[in-house]
């Protein structure tokens, strides 16, 4: 895995293909998730995180990335999964959304996959009026299922983070 990822490389590689159907996939345990590549600015290795008091437990703190202060969340904890130690495969996916750069700590990055809109279905409703809170769709690729995340809902107001705060 390269520590640096440049979204512009994707545009140069396949100018004719739309970024709408490209997803950066990552692992949390045995589960594979996807983020639309248009949100991703770079992928970096895990680094020193400065704790910030009085934030939810899944907000691990902030990092200094080339002079820019970026809040980071542990996606595992955001999904109420068991916390595990970080290792050499753990990385931070830096995304840009709502004028905010934020880092998602994930177990590992899997690939950059093209998932046609025709292969994505809405998430099922499990109870009356309840839908998967952070899942915008389910991508079907050959023998695997990829849960497509809604980045906007993932960084909702309950995180206590705003652009003004960082």
In a domain, 123, yes or no: yes
13 has a pLDDT exceeding 60? no
Please calculate the CA angle 86-87-89 and round it to the nearest 5 degrees: 115
- Domain of 116? 7-156
Tally of domains within the chain: 1
**How far are the Cα atoms of 4, 9, 16, 44, 56 from residue 78, in angstroms, in the given order?**
24, 30, 35, 20, 9
What pTM, to 2 d.p., does this model score? Answer: 0.81
In a domain, 126, yes or no: yes
**pLDDT single digits (tens) 95-137:** 998 889 999 999 999 999 999 999 999 987 765 444 467 889 9
Question: Could you tell me the CATH number of the domain that includes residue 68?
Answer: 2.40.50.180
The mean pLDDT value of the chain amounts to 84
**pLDDT single digits (tens) 20-54:** 789 999 999 999 999 999 999 999 999 999 999 99
């Amino acid at each position: 895995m390269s520590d640096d990822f440049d979204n512009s490389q994707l545009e140069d590689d396949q100018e004719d293909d739309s970024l709408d159907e490209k997803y950066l996939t990552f692992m949390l345990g045995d589960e594979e998730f996807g983020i639309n590549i248009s949100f991703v600015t770079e992928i970096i290795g895990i680094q020193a995180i400065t704790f910030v008091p009085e934030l939810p437990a899944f907000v691990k703190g902030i990092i200094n990335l080339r002079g820019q202060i970026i809040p980071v969340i542990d996606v595992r904890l955001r999904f109420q999964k068991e916390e595990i130690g970080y290792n050499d495969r753990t990385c931070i996916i830096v995304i840009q959304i709502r004028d905010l750069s934020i880092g998602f700590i994930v177990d590992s990055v899997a690939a950059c996959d093209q998932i046609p809109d025709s292969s994505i279905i809405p998430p099922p409703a499990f109870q009356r009026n309840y839908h998967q809170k952070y899942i915008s769709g389910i991508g079907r690729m050959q023998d695997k299922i990829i849960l497509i995340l809604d980045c906007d809902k993932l960084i909702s107001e309950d995180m206590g983070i705003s652009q003004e705060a960082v």
